[in-house]
Homo-oligomer: A and B are copies of this chain.
Amino acid sequence: MGKAERKKQILDSAARLFSSRRFDEVLMDDIAHEAGVAKGTLYSYFPDKEELYFAVVFEGLSQLNSTLEALPDRQMEPDQQLREVMHAIVAFLRKNRFFFKLLFMEDNKGEGGRGEYRRRWHQERHHQMDVIEAVLAKGAESGVLDIRCLHVEAQILRGMVQSVLHSYHRGQVTAEEMVDVIMRVFLDGVRVRP
C-alpha cells in the first residue's frame, strides 16, 4: 500500500477518534486498531501521540483553507460571493464532521500547551477569517453591507456557521438550506420590518 494512502488512513482514524473522545481517552491502540495497522506503525508516520493529534488538526485546517483558496474569483455581487464562501465552508464541514468538532474544540482551547502549535493554529485559522473579511470588506466598500468592525462581524459569521452546523447536524438538512439560514439572519436579521 502507498505510504501516503496509509498515512491518510491513520489521520482519518485518528480524526474520528479524537473528535469524539478526550485526548487522554483515545489510546494509540485504539487508533492503530481503527486504522487497521499495528501500534508501532503509527510511530513510523508520526513521532508521537501529540504530533499525530496536531497533524490531524492541521490536516483538516489546510484542507479547508485549500477549499477556500480554490474558490473562483468571479465577478459577482458581494452577497452572492459571501454565499459562495459560506457554502464552501459549510459543505466542507458537513463532509468532515470529525474535523468540524476538532476545529471548534481547538478554537476554544486555552493558551496553555505548546505555544508553537497555538501560534501556528491561530495563523492558519486567520487565513480563513481573511477570506471572509475580504468579502465583507468588498461589500462594505460597495455600500451593500454595513460593516462596523470587520473583524467582529467576520467572527460572528463564523459563530453562526458553527451553531447552525451544530443544531442541524443530526438532521437531513442540505448545505444549501444551512447557508440560506445563515445568509438570511446575517444579512437581514430576524426583526420584522414594517
Min C-beta distance of A108 to chain B, whole Å: 4
Q: Give A123-167 as 1s and 0s: 1 = Cβ < 8 Å from B's Cβ atoms.
A: 000000000000010000001111111011101101111111011
Min C-beta distance of A27 to chain B, whole Å: 12
The reply to whether B189 and A189 form a contact with Cβ atoms under 8 Å apart is yes
Given contacts A158-B163, A163-B159, A181-B152, contact A101 B105 (CB under 8 A): no
Min C-beta distance of A112 to chain B, whole Å: 4
- Does A19 have its Cβ within 8 Å of any Cβ on chain B? yes
Pick from A20, A107, A113, A167 the residue with the most CB of B within 10 Å: A167
The reply to whether A189 and B192 form a contact with Cβ atoms under 8 Å apart is no
* Nearest CB in chain B to that of A152: its residue: B167
The reply to whether A187 and B190 form a contact with Cβ atoms under 8 Å apart is yes
30 contacts between A and B (CB under 8 A): A19-B110, A20-B112, A21-B112, A22-B109, A25-B112, A25-B113, A101-B109, A104-B104, A105-B108, A107-B166, A144-B191, A145-B190, A145-B191, A145-B192, A146-B190, A148-B181, A148-B184, A152-B167, A152-B168, A152-B181, A153-B185, A155-B167, A156-B160, A156-B163, A156-B164, A159-B162, A159-B164, A159-B166, A160-B163, A193-B193
Q: Give A47-61 as 1s and 0s: 1 = Cβ < 8 Å from B's Cβ atoms.
A: 000000000000000
A residues adjacent to B (C-beta < 8 A):
19-25, 79, 101, 104-105, 107-113, 136, 143-149, 151-153, 155-156, 158-164, 166-168, 181-182, 184-193
From B19, B144, B181, B189, contact of A185 by CB (8 A): B189
Q: A25-B113, A156-B185, A159-B163 are in contact. List 6 more A-B contacts (CB 8 A).
A: A21-B110, A23-B23, A23-B24, A159-B160, A159-B164, A189-B189
Given contacts A152-B181, A155-B163, A164-B159, contact A144 B192 (CB under 8 A): yes
Docked complex Cα distance between A89 and B168 (Å): 23
